[in-house]
């Protein structure tokens, strides 16, 4: 019975050592990524989240039944959306708006 008890202690020590070495390796990798590669990874992340898309399609003009222009194609330099501005408009208006009312404001 004592030989079996000694064997289970040996297995426990082996497993504990294995998992401890895995933990040390992972902690070392995280430390390396944050300290040595941190600036490179930050630049890479920023470049992957923002990009420029050139859209060169002319849509044409949309007329109503009285031949009045409803929508006209126009070229613009930049289109942006600011979540803070949307929130502030909602707060000034006194609450949530429907999608139709919000688009009508734009």
Q: How many other β-carbons are positioned within 10 Å of the β-carbon of residue 86?
A: 13
pLDDT at 1 over 50: no
pTM over 0.85: no
CB 67 within 8 A of CB 83: no
User: Residues 5-60: pLDDT tens digits?
Assistant: 778 889 999 999 999 999 999 999 998 888 888 888 888 887 777 667 776 667 77
User: Residues 56-103: pLDDT tens digits?
Assistant: 667 778 888 999 988 887 777 777 777 777 766 666 665 555 555 555
Report the C-alpha gap between 41 and 21 in whole angstroms.
26
């Amino acid at each position: 019975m004592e030989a079996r008890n000694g064997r289970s202690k040996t297995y426990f020590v082996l497993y504990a050592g294995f998992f401890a070495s895995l933990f040390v390796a992972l902690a070392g990798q995280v430390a390396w990524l944050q300290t040595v590669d941190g600036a490179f990874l930050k630049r890479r992340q920023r470049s992957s989240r923002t990009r420029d898309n050139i859209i060169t399609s002319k849509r044409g003009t949309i007329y109503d039944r009285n031949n009045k222009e409803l929508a006209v194609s126009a070229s613009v330099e930049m289109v942006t959306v600011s979540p803070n501005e949307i929130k502030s408009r909602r707060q000034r208006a006194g609450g949530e708006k429907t999608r139709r009312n919000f688009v009508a404001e734009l």
